């Protein structure tokens, strides 16, 4: 005779199923972010080298954010969080990312790229510290080893050849600002997911990104020849869409995963994919420092994906 299942047992099994699903979700979204951003990184130079400035590329990116934003809101039944807390939280996240990018344009004009990129790339360190002390996030020993390796890999993957130009020290403060802005942005993505819909977060990121288009236009030198053809804004739109979709996946990754793991994983994984694709597309052999970073990043991702 069949025995009746205990309601408590059934409830426990459902909870375990939801926990497993959530556990898998963060990795899936983080992996998708890594792939989309990795491909974006390998292709973004094409329109820039064709005569379409990076500042105008920002404008195109901000507009492409509308596409995944509309799709995600539609899938959420057009439910948008409009409370003051939601609007402020979403706007802070968007502004930290967008203002950081605008400032980066300026930093790369006045500062040495070989120092700027390694400093900025370590922004996950700030995310980890904030999440550890403020959110009390913890990880297994295996994950901590992966996090540590990712923090080693990220600046290695951001290695740039040195130049002999004199840059002074005026670039340090704005570079540290970008470091702080992007590190804090990831932290606030995690905290905002606790009180508002992920789709709403991305909507406000889209709005703030578009709001800063005038700043990018002011930084554009329109006295130089600009490619307005398909290989300029047209191609940039397709490539920047990869960036926008990757950003949406990232917000979902923070919804389901721990910030101390998601942030270093995506920041280490995306450059690794970019370098591999660049090797295939442009036949560019990476510097030994970058190869070391790639191997380290791969090991780090495996360790964090438990």
Q: Mean per-residue pLDDT for 158-174?
A: 88
Residue 12 pLDDT exceeds 50: no
Q: Summarize pLDDT for 29-69 with one digit per residue, the tens.
A: 999 999 999 999 999 999 999 999 999 999 999 999 999 99
| Higher pLDDT, residue 66 or 2 | 66
> Quick check: is 199 in a domain?
yes
pLDDT at residue 265, as a whole number: 97
Q: Hey, CA dihedral for 159, 161, 162, 166, is it positive or negative?
A: negative
Q: Mean per-residue pLDDT for 213-237?
A: 97
Look at residues 164, 176, 138 and name the one whose alpha carbon lies nearest to residue 260. 138
Contact assessment for residue 195 and residue 89, using Cβ atoms and an 8 Å cutoff: yes
Residue 9 pLDDT exceeds 80: no
Q: Distance between CA atoms of 245 and 71, rounded to whole angstroms? A: 10
Q: Distance between CA atoms of 127 and 261, rounded to whole angstroms? A: 10
Query: Quick one: pLDDT band at residue 183, thresholds 50, 70, 90?
Result: very high
Give the DSSP per-residue string, 210-260: HHTHHHHHHTS-TTS----SIIIIIHHHHHHHHHHHHHHHHHHHHHHS-HH
Mean pLDDT of the chain: 92
- The CA angle 94-170-108, to the nearest 5 degrees, is 55
Residue 4 pLDDT exceeds 70: no
Residue 2 pLDDT exceeds 60: no
Q: Mean per-residue pLDDT for 107-112?
A: 93
pLDDT at residue 166, as a whole number: 73
Query: Cβ–Cβ contacts within 10 Å for residue 52, how many?
Result: 22
78 phi and psi, to 5 degrees? Answer: 60, 30
> Quick check: is 217 in a domain?
yes
Query: Quick one: pLDDT band at residue 147, thresholds 50, 70, 90?
Result: very high
Query: Cβ–Cβ contacts within 10 Å for residue 260, how many?
Result: 26
> Quick check: is 16 in a domain?
no
Query: Quick one: pLDDT band at residue 18, thresholds 50, 70, 90?
Result: very low
pLDDT at residue 164, as a whole number: 74
Provide the number of structural domains found in the chain.
Answer: 1
> Quick check: is 286 in a domain?
yes
> Quick check: is 25 in a domain?
no
Q: Which of 7-11, 62-66, 184-188, 260-264 has the lowest mean pLDDT?
A: 7-11
Query: Cβ–Cβ contacts within 10 Å for residue 173, how many?
Result: 10
> Quick check: is 20 in a domain?
no
Contact assessment for residue 282 and residue 41, using Cβ atoms and an 8 Å cutoff: no
Residue 225 pLDDT exceeds 50: yes
Query: Quick one: pLDDT band at residue 13, thresholds 50, 70, 90?
Result: very low
pLDDT at residue 3, as a whole number: 46
Q: Distance between CA atoms of 6 and 84, rounded to whole angstroms? A: 45
pLDDT at residue 22, as a whole number: 53
pTM of the predicted structure, to 2 decimals: 0.92
- Residue range of the domain that includes 121: 33-304
Q: Mean per-residue pLDDT for 163-183?
A: 91
Q: Distance between CA atoms of 44 and 46, rounded to whole angstroms? A: 5
Cα distances (Å, whole numbers) of residue 235 to 51, 121, 154? 12, 26, 28
Residue 23 pLDDT exceeds 80: no
> Quick check: is 13 in a domain?
no
> Quick check: is 156 in a domain?
yes
């Amino acid at each position: 005779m069949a025995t009746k299942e205990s309601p408590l047992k059934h409830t426990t099994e459902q909870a375990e199923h939801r926990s497993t699903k959530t556990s898998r979700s963060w990795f899936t979204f983080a992996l998708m972010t890594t792939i989309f951003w990795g491909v974006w990184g390998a292709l973004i130079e094409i329109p820039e080298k064709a005569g379409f400035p990076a500042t105008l590329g920002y404008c195109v990116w901000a507009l492409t954010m509308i596409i995944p934003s509309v799709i995600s809101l539609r899938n959420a039944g057009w439910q948008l969080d409009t409370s003051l807390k939601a609007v402020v939280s979403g706007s802070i996240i968007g502004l930290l990312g967008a203002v950081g990018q605008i400032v980066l344009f300026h930093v790369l004009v006045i500062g040495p790229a070989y120092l700027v990129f390694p400093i900025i790339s370590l922004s996950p360190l700030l995310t980890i510290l904030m999440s550890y002390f403020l959110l009390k996030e913890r990880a297994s020993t295996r994950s901590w080893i992966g996090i540590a390796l990712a923090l080693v890999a990220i600046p290695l993957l951001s290695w740039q050849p040195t130049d002999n130009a004199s840059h002074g020290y005026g670039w340090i403060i704005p570079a540290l600002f970008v470091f702080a802005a992007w590190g804090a942005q990831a932290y606030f993505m995690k905290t905002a997911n606790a009180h508002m819909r992920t789709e709403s977060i991305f909507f406000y990121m889209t709005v703030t990104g578009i709001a800063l288009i005038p700043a990018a236009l002011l930084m554009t030198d329109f006295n130089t020849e600009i490619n307005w053809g398909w290989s300029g804004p047209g191609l940039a739109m397709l490539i920047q869409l990869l960036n926008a979709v990757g950003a949406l996946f990232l917000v979902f990754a923070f919804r389901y995963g721990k910030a101390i793991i998601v942030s270093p994983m995506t920041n280490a994984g995306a450059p690794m994919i970019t370098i591999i694709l660049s090797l295939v597309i442009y036949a560019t052999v990476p510097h030994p420092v970058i190869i070391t970073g790639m191997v380290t990043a791969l090991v780090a991702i495996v360790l964090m994906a438990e």
